Structure 1
Amino acid sequence: MLVRWAWLVVSLSFCDGNDPFSVVVPRVPVYGLLGSSVTLPCSISPTLNAVNFEVLWFRPQEGHTPILFYQDLEIRENPRNPQFQGRVSLIGGLDKGNVSVKLENIRLEDKGEYICRVEKTDEGEEWYDEATVSLQVNGKY
């Protein structure tokens, strides 16, 4: 019973009702087949038009070097992370709060955690939220 109460207190401290949005990802790992493509799901709740937001996907073990960075209505190229060049893209649906990415030609080294971070600047105020997606890579059968 004490554990439930502590969880409720922690949950309420992060959800005070004043937050403009939160980032939602699956709580279970995403599985991809070696050599295929996979979607790493990420969305905004409540559903908002994210076309004018910044979307940053990165791997925590590589610092904040993005594998994908969307800003000012375009995807910014990042030459510092060449292993993802040409293999990662937004899947579309930004106008409905879908900021998921598609990773092509999955490699064994792609296995691990990815952080989806969404930022919004509105009238001088900045807000962001981020969440972690885990990718498991299975070999071909």
Structure 2
Amino acid sequence: MATWRMRVIGGLLLLLMVGMCSPVCVEVLSGTEAVQGQNMTLLCISCMQREEVYAVTNVEWYYEPSNGNRSLIYEYNEGKPREHMSQFKGRLMWIGSKDLQDVSLVLQNVTLMDSGRFICNVNRTLHFEQHQHYTTSNVEIFLTVSKIQKEDFTSVLSEIMMYILLAFLTLWLLIEVVYCYRKISKAEEVTQESVTDYLAIPSENKESCQVPVEEQ
């Protein structure tokens, strides 16, 4: 219990420290499994090494099906998003951040035909005082689309553990209730027996007799 409390306190302190500090870019991997008919976030985060340097960022999204014919489906150039003609036309939504470190897309109404490889290509031009520096980063997402959502083993295991814990707590509570009930009943029986014995003693002997009381 003490360890669990220390972890909770430590987590709260960490969140507080993160909130007090300036935002930090963290490159997180995108999900790779989508469900037919739902929306899928194609996550692409490319952090800048020097945030204080002025940079021009251009983003290109490509799609490559199993046959290997890669095509440009979306680009963000000079602050203007542009959706190219493809099977995704009208279903791609830009959700990138203002600093263009997050350049993700949302693929709406996913179909089984959307399975394949998505490539996020980020090109940056860093403008220093004396020169310009070019950087390129690529993120690949191998998307698999299924008709129904697959069960996550971790979530299933967590749910099973939760039910086991609830069953154990219920059994423990039931045992405690039965134990307390029997203890109270026993105490009442002892008290009743003591009172009965006391009443059975002749009145002339009651003054020198004390009703025994069981120590709890």
Aligned-partner Cα distance in 1 for 2:42–2:107: 8
Deviations 1:80-111, CA, capped at 9 Å, x for gaps: x2x11111122132426111110011111111
Q: How many pairs does the alignment contain?
A: 115
Aligned-partner Cα distance in 2 for 1:33–1:69: 25
| Structure 2: runs of 5 or more not aligned | 1-25, 150-216
Aligned-pair RMSD on alpha carbons? 2.8
Which of these two proteins has the greater Rg computed from alpha carbons?
2
Change (3 A) 1:138 1:94: farther
Q: Which of residues 128, 132, 136 in structure 2 aligns to 1:128?
A: 136
Aligned-partner Cα distance in 2 for 1:56–1:90: 12
**Comparing both structures, which one devotes a greater share of its residues to helix?**
2
Aligned-partner Cα distance in 1 for 2:80–2:100: 17
Report if the CA contact (8 A) 2:28-2:45 is conserved. Answer: yes
Q: 1:84-103, aligned counterparts within 5 Å?
A: 84-95=88-99, 97-103=101-107
TM-score of the superposition, structure 1-length normalised? 0.68
TM-score of the superposition, structure 2-length normalised? 0.46
Q: 1:33-112, aligned counterparts within 5 Å?
A: 33-46=35-48, 48=51, 52-60=56-64, 61-63=68-70, 65-79=71-85, 81=86, 83-95=87-99, 97-112=101-116
Aligned-partner Cα distance in 2 for 1:120–1:85: 26
Q: Which of residues 21, 25, 29 in structure 2 aligns to 1:26?
A: 29
Aligned-partner Cα distance in 2 for 1:110–1:51: 33
**Comparing both structures, which one devotes a greater share of its residues to strand?**
1
Report if the CA contact (8 A) 1:51-1:73 is conserved. Answer: no
Cα distance, 1:52 vs structure 2: 3.6
